[in-house]
């Protein structure tokens, strides 16, 4: 159940305020990075918070700029801006080592944050993680007419498959996203990584999870394919699987950190 009280706001000079909710608890904490056009009241975010509450683990959820209760307009957002939002939350709100959980676009943000702050990241859990989606799942799938419209007008409107209003895709989102592509070269991440992926996901091909596993330098990667799972993976059994994955990743990350300290590295 969502907290009826207003969220806290992370104020930033010259930037939009970021709405967040933080729950104190044990380390490593958990920081949830939501998806494209999602917010921190979603099913996975609140289920993870409830699980962390029951296990006594710290938890942070937040809204990117232009999403939910944060400031800004959605159409002004870019991958770099949302990455900066997540970094600000990690740096100024979350405390100690974190397990980052990224859903869909949040999986891309999660990877970028881990690359920027490896010393803060204990482990990663991706749910239908969608790195490079602006290029591989939007731009590359547009026909010539849609590309001409997007390039000329700077924006097209795309239908949403989940009942929400159609949403704008800007040329700025596409062009800026090209500066953050990850699936073209090895990804220098060494922490434990658990990737959950539905095989009937109509938004993110399930082979994307295998591509991430192939490219990350970590040897501690688990890919869990859910044969009848869709993109959202929000059924009761999917949420239970996510919570189990989180617990396993947290244990793996803690063991890894202890091993590094013990070896003097």
CA angle centred on 92, ends 244 and 109, rounded to 5° = 50
Angle between helices 105-116 and 79-92 (to 10 degrees): 60
Question: Cis bond leading into 249, ω under 30°?
Answer: no
Cα separation, 45 vs 192, whole angstroms: 21
> Choosing from 63, 132, 201, 238, which is the catalytic residue?
201
Burial call 84-105: b when 16+ CB within 10 Å, e when fewer: bbbbbbbeebbeebbbbbbbbb
3-state secondary structure of 185: coil
Q: Known catalytic residue: 83?
A: no
**CA-to-CA distance for 120 and 28, rounded, in angstroms?**
10
- Is there a catalytic annotation at residue 231? yes
Residues 126 and 195: their CA atoms lie apart, in Å, by: 5
Q: Looking at 38, 103, 104, 122, which residue is catalytic?
A: 104
Examine the residue annotation and report whether 218 is marked as an active-site residue of this protein.
no
Active site residues: 104, 201, 231
């Amino acid at each position: 159940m969502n907290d009826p009280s207003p969220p806290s706001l992370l104020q930033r000079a010259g930037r939009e305020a970021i709405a967040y909710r933080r729950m104190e608890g044990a380390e490593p904490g958990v920081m949830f990075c939501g998806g494209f056009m999602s917010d921190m009241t979603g099913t996975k975010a609140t289920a993870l918070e409830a699980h962390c509450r029951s296990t006594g683990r710290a938890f942070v959820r937040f809204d990117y700029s232009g999403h939910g209760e944060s400031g800004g307009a959605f159409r002004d957002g870019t991958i770099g801006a949302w990455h900066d939002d997540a970094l600000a939350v990690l740096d100024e709100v979350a405390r100690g080592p974190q397990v980052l959980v990224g859903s869909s676009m949040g999986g891309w943000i999660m990877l970028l944050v881990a690359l920027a702050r490896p010393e803060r990241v204990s482990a990663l859990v991706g749910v239908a993680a969608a790195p490079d989606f602006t290029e591989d799942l939007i731009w590359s799938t547009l026909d010539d007419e849609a590309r001409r419209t997007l390039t000329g007008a700077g924006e097209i409107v795309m239908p949403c498959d989940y009942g929400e209003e159609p949403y704008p895709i800007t040329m700025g989102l596409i062009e800026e996203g090209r500066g953050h592509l990850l699936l073209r070269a090895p990804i220098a991440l060494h922490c434990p990584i658990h990737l959950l992926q539905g095989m009937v996901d109509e938004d993110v091909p399930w082979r994307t999870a295998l591509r991430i596993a192939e490219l990350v330098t970590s040897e501690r990667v688990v890919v869990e394919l859910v044969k009848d799972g869709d993109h959202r993976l929000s059924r009761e059994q999917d949420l239970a699987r996510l919570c189990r994955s989180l617990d396993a990743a947290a244990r793996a990350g803690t063991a890894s950190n202890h091993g590094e300290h013990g070896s003097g590295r």
